[in-house]
């Protein structure tokens, strides 16, 4: 397993990996099922990229993809709806729509920060005609916080942290969100 991880990290040190990071970050915010973290962490661990630069790249392209998802939801929902059924995410879409109507800002931040499928919420925000400027601001904060956390933890703790992140990411995200919400409402 360690040799496999080291091989992935070595490949993620290439110059082309930055292009792949842009593409993955952008498409993951719209439709692609593989999270950006899967490429970002090995790129940071490779030591061949400035961790702050690749984190900013991932954040920027993820938010840009989120804006495209928003406008797809806003303008093309009638065309997209059959695909939501086809990909088996219609229940997730309905749940996100419900939560947007009730919790708005808090839920968008949670979706941007956690492993919850952000793409579902970008489309839902557009369908619900959510305030685009607020959507962008929350997306920047949430996606940047997530990617900077992943990158920083990789820099600080190295290759072994990948196993822990993969195993406990959802629990870690819930814990961090609980702390943030506590400080916001105190």
Is 1 a residue whose pLDDT tops 50? no
Is 61 a residue whose pLDDT tops 90? yes
Query: What pTM value is reported for the model?
Result: 0.75
Higher pLDDT, 101 or 50: 50
Average pLDDT of the residues in 14-36? 86
pLDDT tens per residue across span 46-57? 888 899 999 999
Q: Which pair of tokens denotes residue 109?
A: 């931040």
Residue 19 in 3-state DSSP?
Answer: helix
How far from 78 is each of 20, 73, 87, 145, 163, CA to CA, in Å? 30, 9, 15, 33, 41
Burial 144-169 (b: 16+ CB within 10 A, else e): bbbbbbbbebbeeeeeebbeebeeeb
């Amino acid at each position: 397993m360690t040799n496999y991880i080291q091989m992935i990290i070595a490949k993620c040190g290439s110059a082309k990996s930055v292009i792949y990071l842009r593409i993955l970050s952008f498409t993951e915010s719209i439709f692609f099922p593989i999270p950006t973290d899967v490429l970002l962490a090995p790129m940071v661990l490779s030591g061949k990229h400035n961790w702050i630069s690749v984190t900013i790249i991932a954040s920027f392209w993820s938010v840009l993809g989120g804006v495209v998802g928003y406008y797809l939801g806003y303008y093309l929902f009638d065309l997209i709806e059959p695909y939501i059924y086809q990909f088996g995410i219609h229940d997730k879409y309905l749940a996100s729509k419900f939560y947007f109507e009730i919790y708005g800002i808090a839920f968008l931040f949670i979706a941007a920060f956690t492993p919850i499928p952000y793409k579902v919420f970008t489309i839902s925000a557009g369908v619900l005609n959510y305030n685009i400027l607020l959507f962008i601001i929350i997306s920047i904060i949430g996606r940047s916080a997530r990617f900077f956390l992943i990158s920083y933890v990789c820099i600080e703790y190295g290759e072994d942290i990948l196993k822990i992140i993969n195993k406990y990411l959802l629990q870690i995200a819930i814990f961090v969100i609980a702390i943030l919400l506590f400080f916001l409402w105190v």
